[in-house]
Amino acid sequence: MVSLVQLKNKYSFSIIGGGVIGCSVAYHLSKELGEEVVLLEKDFIASGSSGLSAGILSHQLWNEIDIELVKKSVEWIKKESEEEEGIVLNQDGLLKLVCTEEEIEPLKRNVNMQQSIGCDVRFLEPNDVEDITPEIAIKDVTGAAYCPDDSYVDPYQLCVHFAKAAEERGVRFLQRSEVKGIERKEDGVFQLRTARDTVESETVIICAGPWSKKVTKMLEFELPLKPYRTQAAITTPFMGEVKIPMVHDVSNSLYMKPETGGTILAGDGTESTESDPDNFKEKPGFDFMTSISEKMLRRLPRSENARLVRGWSGLCTATPDRRPLIGFHSGTEGLFLAVGFNALGVMRAPAIGEMVSDLICGRRTQDDIAEFDPNRFEKVEDFEITQGFTL
């Protein structure tokens, strides 16, 4: 998708990062700005965290604003999948399990909140789980919740779908174009240097995921972000059809997602320490592979007939309050942030891209999404990493 012809090097908007958020922003901006937008990606589209995601789209989150973003995103993907080729929405439902008495009330509280804003979610007693699927072992389960509308999408397909449509409207994509330096000149224009190009723009939109901290350091300020490592693996095909929805075992840090060909993607393996995005273990650890296999066997007894054959690691990005940073940075005029999605980037991406476009084009104000204000932290302090997809 990199143009072989040097068209121009001055734009109104430059986007740093070709993951699902950057591509969604490019797509939504392209509707009215088209050729005024350029996207710079250090490698290839969806080659970082987005392409390694499980692609789960769940309404079973812990706050209303994120659930509304998921609802809007699912509606968009469903519409696109019906009208366009190259993107598929798999609506298999998601079963959430807890295994301690202490987790029952928070789960019920979340279900009540989700129902109050129109989500088809219901609380289940352990014995009711068998009505959803008899495959899941429930001996230690104390409570569950189920949403039949929860779904998943191939994150690579989603990124490419965004990028292709944006490029057709005039957005320029520069792949293999890592930003090596950023300077804001006296006239307020940003100059972005890569190994091959120098690009100028009036506004810079940072969507660089785990690399966002490294980008903002070029402008001499810190963000309250911590990249952290997650791990996943996929099984060999099961003997016979396994009829399960997606499963999220909160208490045991396990999720399972049925894949094509009778395999299952299993993961979590979330680490609580900060990782360097340019120097982290991309292969899963032996301890993780052993642990996830044992967890699967306890929760899905038929997994004894399958084995894990391939695993990988990816990075997510945490913020102190598990909410993203979206909006203009108060200390640098013309700099916009869309970062810190706490492992929930893919499931909110279509709606986030529209939100960013609306903010930039003046259709919304920061007050409309005060929860995501990137300037809400007075100073950058240390904080504990907490997963976004939990109770």
Domains and CATH numbers, the chain: 1-90+150-223+320-391 (3.50.50.60), 94-148+226-318 (3.30.9.10)
pTM score: 0.95
Q: Which residues pair with 95 in a beta bridge?
A: 146, 247
pLDDT for the residue numbered 97: 98
Neighbours of 282 (CB within 10 A): 10
DSSP classification of residue 170: T
Q: What is the CA radius of gyration of the chain?
A: 21
Q: Across residues 188-200, what is the average pLDDT?
A: 95
What's the pLDDT score for residue 85? 85
Chain centre distance of CA 136: 27
Those residues whose C-beta lies under 8 Å from the C-beta of residue 164, and which sit 6 or more positions away, are 86
What does the block give as tokens for 237? 């095909």
Model confidence at 270, pLDDT cuts 50, 70, 90, reads: confident
The answer on pLDDT for 2 being more than 60 is no
Q: Give the sign of the dihedral formed by CA 359, CA 386, CA 291, CA 95.
A: negative
- Helix, strand counts (H, E) of the chain: 8, 19
The Cα-based distances of 275 to 48, 94, 114, 161 in angstroms read: 14, 29, 33, 30
Would you state the pLDDT for residue 13? 98
Contact between 2 and 174 under an 8 Å Cβ cutoff? The reply is yes
Q: What's residue 7's pLDDT? A: 55
- Parallel, antiparallel or unpaired: strands 56-57 and 89-90: unpaired
pLDDT at 142 over 80: yes
